[in-house]
Amino acid sequence: MAEETISFKDMCARFDVTPRTLRYYEYIELLSPIREGRARFYTAREVARMKLILRGRRFGFSLEEIRQWLLMYDHQGTEVQNKVWVENATLKLEELQRQRDELDRTIEDLRTLRDEVASAGD
């Protein structure tokens, strides 16, 4: 039984990405669709990889970090991949927390300055 595939157009629609994005992910070897002439078809493996790519981007990982993580699965398996993912996620969480703390301080400073200026005008 042949593996089910989805077309290039359907892949773009399913993940709400542009054709340019999908071609770029292929170019940098994040995705490897089946090619039939100029047509591209994506297997369940590629769909799963796309989900991971988009999730990684949402969490702020670079495409190179995502690419390395996906390569790990191909060459070293799930256990190593998951261990590295946990390490990277921990570092990313620390970075995001620092950014959040800075943003909270900035918001508080802006709020204080706004209130001072507003009360000076009264």
Better pLDDT: 78 or 40: 40
Structure confidence by residue, pLDDT tens digits, 59-109: 999 999 999 888 887 788 788 888 988 999 999 999 999 999 999 999 999
For residue 1, being part of any structural domain is answered with yes
**Residue 56 belongs to domain with CATH number:** 1.10.1660.10
Would you say residue 1 has pLDDT above 70?
A: no
DSSP H/E element including 39: strand 39-42
| 57 and 98 within one domain | no
In which domain, by residue range, is 42 found? 1-61
Residues 49/31, Cβ–Cβ less than 8 Å: yes
| Position 24 confidence tier, pLDDT thresholds 50, 70, 90 | very high
What's the DSSP call for residue 83?
H
Q: Give the global pTM.
A: 0.79
| 50 and 1 within one domain | yes
| 97 and 57 within one domain | no
| 55 and 104 within one domain | no
Domain count, the chain: 2
For residue 72, being part of any structural domain is answered with no
Residue 78: predicted pLDDT: 83
